[in-house]
Structure 1
């Protein structure tokens, strides 16, 4: 059997982290969460996810800077980063960060599963 695809979710909202974990574990993914994007390169290297969800409003290092750091790293830049935020301007924030896609909050469960499937095929 193939190993589970790994999803890493960065968000400082524990409710969002719990919700995403439940939905994606039910869909057959392995999940890791973090409420901070400090030491983003070390955190991601330690887990080697197949896809990353990045919130915009994170303490200390924000989502844009964290995403830029990932996309600037030769080892990690291939991992799709999905920007997700309740900000009305999530599309342009995702573009500014260099993310591979975005998901607006609040989101439908189907939308969350669709975007993961789209980037992990």
Structure 2
């Protein structure tokens, strides 16, 4: 499974990556990439064509919420699941309207992250 995590809090990104690799039994851990900026994240998305993108809102080079539509409407990424992550719960409806498949409140609950993947 290919996953891109766009999160400027590097420690949280690493925790998420390690959790997902373990929980999803990812055989090739380098298929779960961590980006700390939108620019880097979009580059990883273009390289990997991931099944999942976890994206923070407040990033050093822009707002994650403004990239959701771009990710979801690009031809080859339309099947990519986008998970918006933010402490600003008032963004939930806007994120979902823009195409996010899920919204995770910060601080992140790894139980909720696990539940996103159901029985995988």
Task: Name the TM tier (shorter chain).
Answer: 0.7 to 0.9
Q: For residues 50-89 of structure 1, what are the structure 2 equivalents within 5 Å?
A: 50-89=51-90
Give the one of 3, 8, 11 matched to 2:4.
Answer: 8
More helix by share: 2
TM-score, structure 1 as length reference: 0.82
Cα displacement (A) at 1:8: 0.8
* Structure 2: tracts of 5 or more residues without a match: none
TM-score, structure 2 as length reference: 0.83
Cα displacement (A) at 1:107: 2.5
User: Does 2:2 match 1:17?
Assistant: no
Report SS of the residue matched to 2:84.
strand
* Structure 1: tracts of 5 or more residues without a match: none
Give the aligned CA root-mean-square deviation in angstroms.
Answer: 2.0
Q: How many correspondences in the alignment?
A: 115
Cα displacement (A) at 1:42: 3.6
